[in-house]
């Protein structure tokens, strides 16, 4: 299958590209490399040293003989998008190419506006390009479990059958997201649903949980293929950041009570889910929605897990309940469905001590690249 | 009350400004006059000749002694927005300043992107300005009944109590809007709800129905105060356009079967609703939602009504079921609540033959300004 990966240089995008290539698909990357620029803006970097995109691609070609075309440009530029679609003629478009950090979107007004415009306009342009150049192609779009917020009822996969005053309808699941970033994904979902409905496009909206781990078989084949490993207060996410803190002798920073419960997924399952979604395209006119995570954890549970494994490895690890920079419930009901990807054949990697050990070792091997001043989540919601 | 009217030169904005001024409020206008530019772009104009904004304001001051400050600028420019908020220090902000035509948003990709960016960024900037300069001020935001689409269950006012698997929550009413314009209002509503929740802002989201009539007491005081009267296929809406067609000997253009049912409101009630909303601000942290319409009509019912009244006035009026340029259900369930503004004291102007007669006379008086080539709705959704 000809698969175009938008955002193919990023944390989820790059391992997905290599996984899809290994599975025999013809893959091309679109990226404007802005994720690397945000590290420069924030004065931080991945724990793992990551090679330039050209070196990543050249290394892969040297190892496997597979060429991966790279289109360097911005999805907000429709001339560029048009050129890519005309040239590559994708059958499936995997769309990771969005600003994906909630704290980044909450830095200030300019970052909120940038996040929403970048994500919404990029996705609108992709929808118009599919319609214009490859109307039968299938859009596999990364959303987020954060779109749902933390409702007091069970979270279904995208839609909810509602009975009201004796009548029934199946409706888009009502959304209550916790940041301007998460809101941008809600906006995207509504736009995509509409484009499917009026133009007959095919789309799958993947509401992904929080991704942990950085290691995939393909990325480990050569140091120049390594994936990025974010630990800073803006782009670092719960489990990976805890591992970085543990190896640095820094207390694990739990926001508030830590009762915040979320869906989590191993990056080795992310890449599999993407292929499953691509291989099972939605029907024309349909926007499928899958909740792409494998387990629910509270933040405190994860911190305790990392603490235990790190202590077993001989590290002295403390825990610190820091003031929560976000506005969110710290104790709440949370029960989210996630059966559709399992039905398609996903065999989940559930979180094991071994995975945490690998992450701790990976961080420890590059401890000199960790700046503990980057740990605190300084962006405040209020 | 100090009320800032964003979009105060437009079809709803201008009569609202005069109504609020007459009721003793201190009113200022923000507008970038782009609505007049869209007429130029589309090669059309209001049936009524409308005076330049400076002449409108000067005329009002000559008649009443009331000065209405005018800020000429774009809400996408935060420096401009900041200056306005710092100077005027509004207690209430009435926000009409959005691209409000569904067909305009569906012309092509560029118009879809423009509509969403213009509306979303303008509203984000207003939210940030309220937070920064007047955190206790109340945002009165114009949404649209179109946000809801045509669900098979009753439409409530903004929120829906949902029971699911034995648990309950009150959630944002699920949205299924019919154009990229209507989608922009859904995006706004989600952004505003979030800003209220995390910053404690006050907002009222007015999901307005289709506005008919152009005549208010204040606008009729002088020809230089006249409101605009749109009839073209892009900005003209159902009832007003039918009246323009009737006086031009053009068949009333019903899209498809005409069973599309919507909420409608007289512009004399629009201006009253705005004052009622402003005088009854939401609590800090609350986004109130009112459905701002007074009656439900199907498009076909309205056409038949205009036909009858026009025939009684001696006009020969035919009706034509033209191919529907939109993707929408032409027969569907529709039952939308609209009690909250009534509870606040709104006494509706229900649609009468007399109102239609006034509209027909107003159009007939300027028949020479109507170009029948502008009637057809040429923008196709597919």
Contacts of A174 in chain B (CB under 8 A): 160, 162, 171-174
The pTM of the full predicted model, rounded to 2 decimals, is: 0.98
Measured distance CA(B201)–CA(B285) in Å, rounded: 5
Positive or negative torsion for Cα B29, B32, B36, B38: negative
Question: In terms of DSSP bridges, do strands B261-266 and B210-212 run parallel, antiparallel, or are they unpaired?
Answer: parallel
Question: Taking CB atoms and an 8 Å limit, are B168 and A187 in contact across chains?
Answer: no
First to last CA, chain B: 46
Q: Would residue A144 count as lying in a domain?
A: yes
* Element of type H or E holding A188: helix A180-199
Measured distance CA(A379)–CA(B12) in Å, rounded: 39
Nearest to B172 among A125, A162, A175 (CB): A175
CB under 8 A, 24+ apart: contacts of A112-117:
A112/A180, A112/B124, A112/B128, A113/B121, A113/B124, A113/B125, A115/A180, A115/A181, A115/A184, A116/A180, A116/A183, A116/A184, A116/A187, A116/B120, A116/B121, A116/B124, A116/B187, A116/B191, A117/A76, A117/B117, A117/B120, A117/B121
Measured distance CA(A259)–CA(A303) in Å, rounded: 11
Query: Which tokens is B329 given?
Result: 């259900």
Question: Taking CB atoms and an 8 Å limit, are B109 and A78 in contact across chains?
Answer: yes
- State yes or no: is A261 an active-site residue: no
Could you say which of A71, A148, A173, A181 is catalytic?
A181
pLDDT at B279: 98
Q: Would residue A382 count as lying in a domain?
A: no
Of B19, B204, B191, B257, whose CA–CA distance to B95 is shortest?
A: B204
| A195, B178 contact by CB (below 8 A) | no
Residue B101: phi, psi to the nearest 5?
Answer: -105, 125
* Closest chain A residue by Cα to residue B172: A174
A130 min Cα distance to partner chain B (Å) = 12
Confidence of residue A257 (pLDDT cuts 50, 70, 90): very high
Query: Which tokens is A245 given?
Result: 């803190």
pLDDT tens digit sequence for A89-109? 999 999 999 999 999 999 999
Nearest to A167 among B153, B167, B168 (CB): B153
Bridge partners, residue B71, by sequence: B30
pLDDT tens digit sequence for B301-333? 999 999 999 999 999 999 999 999 999 999 999
* Closest chain A residue by Cα to residue B158: A174
Query: Which tokens is B112 given?
Result: 């879809």
Could you say which of B71, B148, B185, B355 is catalytic?
B185
- State yes or no: is A362 an active-site residue: no
Contacts of B124 in chain A (CB under 8 A): 109, 112-113, 116, 180
E-assigned strand segments in A299-379: 319-322
Measured distance CA(B21)–CA(B28) in Å, rounded: 9
* Cβ–Cβ pairs < 8 A, chains A and B: 133
pLDDT tens digit sequence for B249-279? 999 999 999 999 999 999 999 999 999 999 9
HSE (side-chain half, CA atoms, 13 Å) at B337: 16
When pLDDT is averaged across residues A300-328 and rounded to a whole number, the result is 97
Could you say which of B71, B181, B229, B231 is catalytic?
B181
Residue A37: burial class (beta carbons within 10 Å; 0-12, 13-18, 19+): exposed
Which of B194, B284, B327 is best to mutate for the A interface (most A CBs within 10 A)?
A: B194
| B93, B203 contact by CB (below 8 A) | no
Nearest to A121 among B117, B124, B152 (CB): B117
Q: Would residue A126 count as lying in a domain?
A: yes
Query: Which tokens is B9 given?
Result: 């030169």
What is the average pLDDT value for chain B, to the nearest integer? 98
CATH at residue A8: 3.40.50.720
Question: In terms of DSSP bridges, do strands A26-31 and A138-144 run parallel, antiparallel, or are they unpaired?
Answer: unpaired
pLDDT tens digit sequence for A350-368? 999 999 999 999 999 999 9
Measured distance CA(B229)–CA(A24) in Å, rounded: 61
pLDDT at A27: 98
Measured distance CA(B332)–CA(A21) in Å, rounded: 47
Q: Would residue B231 count as lying in a domain?
A: yes
Range of the domain at A254: 2-374
* Closest chain B residue by Cα to residue A186: B187
Could you say which of A48, A134, A148, A185 is catalytic?
A185
In angstroms, how far is CA A249 from the centroid of its own chain? 28
Cβ-count burial B9-20 (b if 16+ within 10 Å, e if not): bbbbbbbbbbbb
Q: What is the DSSP string of A113-156?
A: HHHHHHHHHHHHHHHHHHHHH-TT-EEEEEEEGGGG---SS-B-
Of A325, A317, A166, A98, whose CA–CA distance to A233 is shortest?
A: A325
| B70, B54 contact by CB (below 8 A) | yes
For chain A, percent of residues with pLDDT exceeding 90: 100
Q: Would residue B55 count as lying in a domain?
A: yes
Q: What is the largest CA-CA distance in chain A?
A: 64
Which of B109, B201, B379 is best to mutate for the A interface (most A CBs within 10 A)?
A: B109
Query: Which tokens is B305 given?
Result: 């009504």
Measured distance CA(A121)–CA(A32) in Å, rounded: 15
Structural domains counted in chain B: 1
Q: Would residue B93 count as lying in a domain?
A: yes
Q: Would residue B101 count as lying in a domain?
A: yes
First to last CA, chain A: 46
Question: Taking CB atoms and an 8 Å limit, are B194 and A186 in contact across chains?
Answer: no
When pLDDT is averaged across residues A58-69 and rounded to a whole number, the result is 98
Angle at B157 between CA B156 and CA B158, to 5 degrees: 100
B324 min Cα distance to partner chain A (Å) = 13
Q: Would residue A380 count as lying in a domain?
A: no
Place of tokens 């942290």: B285
HEC string of B149-197?
Answer: CCCCCCECCCEEEEEECCEEEEEECCCCCCCHHHHHHHHHHHHHHHHHH
| B330, B376 contact by CB (below 8 A) | no
pLDDT at A37: 98
A121 min Cα distance to partner chain B (Å) = 6
- State yes or no: is A185 an active-site residue: yes
Question: Taking CB atoms and an 8 Å limit, are B174 and A176 in contact across chains?
Answer: no
Residue B332: burial class (beta carbons within 10 Å; 0-12, 13-18, 19+): middle
Question: Taking CB atoms and an 8 Å limit, are A116 and B125 in contact across chains?
Answer: no
Using 70 as the pLDDT threshold, list the residues of chain B that sit under it: none
Measured distance CA(B92)–CA(B109) in Å, rounded: 35
Contacts of B77 in chain A (CB under 8 A): none
């Amino acid at each position: 299958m000809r698969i175009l990966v938008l955002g193919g240089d990023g944390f989820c995008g790059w391992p997905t590209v290599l996984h899809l290539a290994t599975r025999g698909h013809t893959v091309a990357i679109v990226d404007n490399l802005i994720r690397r620029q945000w590290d420069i803006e924030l004065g931080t970097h991945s724990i793992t040293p990551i090679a330039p995109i050209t070196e990543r691609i050249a290394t892969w070609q040297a190892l496997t003989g597979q060429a991966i075309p790279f289109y360097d440009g911005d999805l907000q530029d429709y001339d560029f998008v048009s050129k890519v679609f005309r040239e590559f003629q994708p059958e499936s478009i995997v769309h990771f190419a969005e600003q994906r950090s909630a704290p980044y979107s909450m830095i200030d007004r300019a970052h909120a506006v940038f996040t929403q415009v970048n994500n919404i306009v990029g996705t609108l342009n992709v929808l118009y390009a599919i319609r214009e150049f490859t109307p039968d192609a299938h859009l596999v779009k990364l959303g987020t479990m954060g779109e749902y917020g933390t409702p007091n009822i069970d979270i279904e996969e995208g839609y909810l059958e509602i009975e009201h005053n004796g009548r029934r309808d199946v409706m888009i699941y009502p959304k209550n997201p916790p940041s301007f970033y998460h809101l941008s994904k809600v906006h995207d979902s509504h736009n995509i649903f509409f484009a499917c409905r009026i133009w007959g496009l095919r789309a799958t909206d993947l509401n992904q949980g929080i991704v942990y781990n950085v290691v995939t078989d393909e990325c480990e084949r050569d140091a120049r293929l390594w994936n990025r490993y974010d630990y800073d207060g803006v782009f670092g996410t719960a489990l990976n950041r805890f591992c970085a803190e543990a190896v640095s002798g820094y207390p694990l920073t739990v926001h508030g009570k830590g009762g915040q419960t979320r869906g989590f997924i191993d990056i080795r399952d992310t890449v599999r889910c993407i292929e499953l979604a691509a291989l099972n395209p939605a029907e024309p006119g349909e926007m499928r929605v899958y909740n792409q995570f494998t387990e629910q954890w509270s933040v405190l549970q994860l911190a305790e897990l990392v603490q235990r494994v790190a202590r077993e490895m001989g590290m002295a690890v403390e825990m610190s309940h820091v003031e929560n920079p976000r506005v969110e419930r710290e104790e709440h009901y949370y029960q989210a469905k996630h059966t559709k990807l399992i039905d398609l054949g996903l065999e989940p990697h559930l979180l094991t001590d071994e995975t945490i050990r690998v992450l701790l070792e990976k961080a420890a091997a590059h401890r000199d690249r960790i700046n503990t001043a980057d740990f605190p989540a300084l962006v405040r919601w209020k």
